[in-house]
Each structure stands twice: as C-alpha cells, then as structure tokens.
Amino acid sequence: MTQTLLSAKNVTRRFGGLVAIDNVSVDLDRGQVHAVIGTNGAGKSTLINVLSGEIPPNEGSIIMNGTDITRWPQPNRARAGLGRSYQRTTIFPTLTVHENCRLSAQAKHQKFWSWATPAKNCRISNEAADRALELTGLAEYADHTAGLLSHGGKRQLEIAMCLATHPTVLLLDEPLAGMGAEETDRMLDLLDSLKKEHAILLVEHDMDAVFRISDLITVMVNGTVIAHGDPEAIRTNHEVQTAYLGEDE
C-alpha cells in the first residue's frame, strides 16, 4: 500500500538548445528513498529545480497528492510540504544556525499580520528548529553564525533547514557532499528514520551511501533516464556501469 506523494510525468526542460531533462517521469512514494543518480550534467539538479518549482518545465506535469501543481509557484509548493536542499549551499550566512532553522520553520506559520509578537517567541517554529538541529547534529552550534561554519557544517545546516519546514516530500540535492565520514553515517541513519513518514528523492554521487539506503534508483545520462529499478538491478546493469559507475574497483 504505497502512497505516491509526488510524481513528475514526462517532464522536459530545455535551456536554449540544450535539453537538460528529456521526458523524465518519476514517482516518489511515502516510505521510500528514491535515488536519482547520473553523470555530471545529467539533469538531476534540474529535475529537483523543476519539481520544487524553482524553474518551470517546458513540457510535462507535476502532481502532488493528486493535485496538478505544475503552475504553482515555488513558495506555495513548499508550504504544501515540498522541502528541498541545494547542491550549492544556500543558507542565511549572517544569521545564527538556530535562526536559520527558525526562519525556515516559520514559513508554515507566517501570520505576517501579527506584528506585535516578536518572531523569536514563536514556539512552534522554535521547536521545529530545535528538533531539526538535534537531528542533524548541529545542536551545539545553535548560536554560531552560519556563515562562519566550516564547509561541512554548512552542508549539515542545509539539511536541517529543509527539515525544519516539516516537509512530507524531501528533495535532497547531494546532501552528503562535503560531509565527513561520521556525519555521513549520521545522515544516512536520519534518512532511514525519516523515510517511514516521508517520500525522499535523493540525488547523490556517494555510491556506497546510495546503495545502502535507497529502495529505488533512477539513473540519468544527458537528460534521459537510462535505467530504473532496485539497487541490485542497477548495480549489475551494464549500461549504468559503463556510463556512470565505472568498472567495479
């Protein structure tokens, strides 16, 4: 009884003459980690951008919980439960780590007419922020200025901010990049625990991690899907090996 939370149907996106994603369809189900892997420039980030509403697709449609959201602007999709992280760290560098998360969490409770109450007293947002920091292991850095974190720290914060909005669908663009071995482990455990309640799209180049955690894998090359299946099928797929994985070491 899987429940499809988000699906892309025959999505195409072009940049000028370049077809960044070509007729791609994916389904994200609750309880699954769906990994999208593929060569550099294959269009994985573009896919996430299209799903999250950052850029519109040229063709195809995007359905969330049965609603066609193709024309929705990004903020509306986010409020409907679509959370994303960026491949290139996108945080609020001048705010503290905690504020970064609180601000993200606040998106669900904007109430911008309530000008009398200070934002920092918003209990729900604070709790969401605390929890996100706890989960990503940043709790001890809560009061640090985000821009002064090390690269790895910023990458963790990137995920924490995504979690703070309580999304139901997570679109993670290379969440493990820049993280050390220990943090990687923690993150994988976290994804594992999140997947019961969420649908997760994972774009990642760390193959150990991908094979360890994902339930389904889609492989893209030059904008098109060349393979789709469970990890074992992908691992042994010859085409994938020559195009992406390289011969087993």
Ligand X SMILES: Nc1ncnc2c1ncn2[C@@H]1O[C@H](COP(=O)(O)OP(=O)(O)OP(=O)(O)O)[C@@H](O)[C@H]1O
234 C-beta neighbours (distance < 10 Å), count: 25
Among residues 60, 137, 152, 231, the one that binds ligand X under rule CB under 6 A: 152
Residues 208-247, mask of contacts with another protein (x by CB under 8 A): -----------------------------------xxxx-
Q: List 169's β-bridge partners, or say none.
A: 82, 199
Across 77-115, b (16+ Cβ under 10 Å) vs e yields: bbebbbbbbbbebebbeeebbbbbbbbbbbebeeeeeee
Q: Which of residues 75-104 bind ligand X (CB under 6 A)?
A: 87
Residue 155 contacts residue 131 (beta carbons within 8 Å)? no
Buried b (16+ CB within 10 A) or exposed e, 181-220: eebbebbbebbeebbeebbbbbbbebbebbeebbebbbbb
162 binds ligand X (CB under 6 A): no
The single residue among 24, 42, 101, 160 that binds ligand X, judged by CB under 6 A, is 42
Residues 20-49 that bind another protein (CB under 8 A): 37-42, 45
Strand order in the sheet with 32-38: 82-84, 169-173, 199-203, 32-38, 216-221, 224-229
Q: How far is the CB of 147 from ligand X (least distance, A)?
A: 7
Which residue of 44, 166, 195, 198 would you call a contact of ligand X, by CB under 6 A?
Answer: 44
79-98 binders of Mg ion (CB under 5 A): 87
If one asks whether residue 45 binds Mg ion (CB under 5 A), the answer comes out as yes
Q: For residue 188, which amino acid is it?
A: L
- Binding segment toward ligand X, per CB under 6 A, in 92-100, 118-126, 151-159, 163-171: 151-159
Q: Minimum Å distance from CB 149 to ligand X?
A: 5
Among 33, 62, 163, 179, binds another protein (CB under 8 A): 179
CB-based contact 23:224 (threshold 8 Å):
yes
**Judged by CB under 8 A, how many residues of this single chain contact another protein?**
72
- What are the residues binding ligand X (CB under 6 A)? 15, 18, 20, 38, 40-46, 87, 148-153
